[in-house]
Chains A and B, each alone.
Chain A
Amino acid sequence: MADEITLEVARYRPELESEPVMESFQVPLREHWAVLDGLTYVKDQLDGTLSFRWSCRMGICGSCGMTVNGEPQLSCATFLTDYAPGPVRVEPLRNFPVIRDLVIDIDDFMTKLPEVKPWIIRDVHSPVEEGEYLQTPQELDEYQQFSMCINCMLCYSACPVYSLEPDFIGPAAIALAQRYNLDSRDEGAEERRAVLSSPEGIWACTFVGECSAACPKGVDPAGAIQRYKLTAATRSIKDLLMPRSRR
């Protein structure tokens, strides 16, 4: 195995460049080094001005999403040896404005996420003394895969609809809404309905499925969206046939 690999890193320093340029760095090719370790090596040893986001280094925090050789990846979970002999092209996540180097502006997602109210909503909260809201393993299975989302936004980067329709609420936000809609303890489906079944919600999705292919945690946002399309369509036809039963 060669002992070095070339990282081609997208650089964008607004004070220096009007648009991103690629810069190459030679980094050690070690068996257990992820792309993130390569970038850390660059920052520690070669060029301290390189900017990128990271936190946990173990695929939990969702901070280090980048485009690696054209694919959205968590840079901490993408190993340099898989790209040997290189070069490895590292760019910021697509479909987001770039602030600096590999750092993207996530404000759009941060604004959209709370709109779907991704938390447990109860009509009446039972007092703590009454104990936990119990749930069977089957009820847990209903939503558990959606609860694995780490908000890394790889699905937004992979989604061709989001790149064309920036107003689209997007895969992760809809999957997280379904995580609560399908939770037996939750009673907030009605509150989430207006946002989810708007033209910028599920109906913008054309079921390309790239979100589910890109997800590093095995969540199936495309499935969540399709499932909610059926829920919303059934619901709106009921409203049409029985307008008085509308809550």
Chain B
Amino acid sequence: MNRRPGPEPLLWMLFSSGGMVAALMIPILLFLFGIAFPLGLLSPPDHSHLFAVLRNPITRLVLFGLCALALFHWAHRFRFTLYDGLQLKRYGAPIVVLCYGGAVVGTVIAAVLLIRL
């Protein structure tokens, strides 16, 4: 049996931490910006206030972490959905490139957007 160490521990760490931060933070953000503010349940912050919050380096860092980890969570899960769910494991290499490559591209886009705010 094959006993070589692989990148799996790192990918799994990204997957599990991504799942945790996404589960903790995305419902709150969705509730605030998707339901509560548009429906007027809570009074939304004005544009300049929100912008000031977004320009805070800690906000940017947290949002970057959320985007990057959530994307790697998606990548890992989607890779195994393709492997086992659709039984495409024979295309392992392109699937890995598509999934984790997609997460890297998404992470770079998130970083650029957050830096250019």
The interface of chain A, by Cβ under 8 A from chain B, is 115, 160-161, 164, 167, 194-195, 197-200, 203, 206, 229-230, 232-233, 235-237
Assess the B1–A197 pair: CB atoms within 8 A. no
Q: Is B5 an interface residue (CB 8 A)?
A: yes
Which residues of chain B from 54 to 112 have a CB within 8 Å of any chain A CB? 80, 84, 87, 89
Q: Is B117 an interface residue (CB 8 A)?
A: no
Chain B residue nearest to A235 in the complex (CB): B9
Q: Is B13 an interface residue (CB 8 A)?
A: yes
Q: Which of B5, B6, B12 contacts A229 (CB 8 A)?
A: B12
Q: Given contacts A203-B12, A237-B10, is CB(A198)–CB(B1) below 8 Å?
A: yes
Chain B residue nearest to A206 in the complex (CB): B80
A68: min CB distance to chain B, Å: 25
Which residues of chain B from 7 to 27 have a CB within 8 Å of any chain A CB? 8-10, 12-13, 16
Assess the A233–B9 pair: CB atoms within 8 A. yes
Assess the B84–A161 pair: CB atoms within 8 A. yes
Q: Given contacts A203-B12, A206-B80, is CB(A236)–CB(B87) below 8 Å?
A: no
Chain B residues with Cβ below 8 Å from A167 are: 1-2
Q: Given contacts A199-B6, A232-B9, A236-B9, is CB(A164)–CB(B84) below 8 Å?
A: yes
List the 4 closest pairs (A to B, CB-CB), nearest first: A203-B8, A233-B9, A236-B9, A206-B80
Assess the A206–B84 pair: CB atoms within 8 A. yes
Assess the A200–B1 pair: CB atoms within 8 A. yes
Chain B residue nearest to A233 in the complex (CB): B9
| A194 to B5 Cα, complex, angstroms | 8
Q: Is the interface of A mostly helix, strand, loop or mixed?
A: helix
Chain A residues with Cβ below 8 Å from B13 are: 233, 237
| A230 to B4 Cα, complex, angstroms | 18
Chain B residue nearest to A199 in the complex (CB): B6
Q: Is B3 an interface residue (CB 8 A)?
A: yes
B66: min CB distance to chain A, Å: 20
| A237 to B4 Cα, complex, angstroms | 16
Q: Which of A161, A194, A195, A199 contacts B8 (CB 8 A)?
A: A199
Assess the B4–A198 pair: CB atoms within 8 A. yes
A107: min CB distance to chain B, Å: 15
| A235 to B8 Cα, complex, angstroms | 12
Chain B residue nearest to A203 in the complex (CB): B8
| A167 to B84 Cα, complex, angstroms | 15
Assess the B3–A195 pair: CB atoms within 8 A. yes
Assess the A197–B9 pair: CB atoms within 8 A. yes
Assess the A200–B2 pair: CB atoms within 8 A. yes
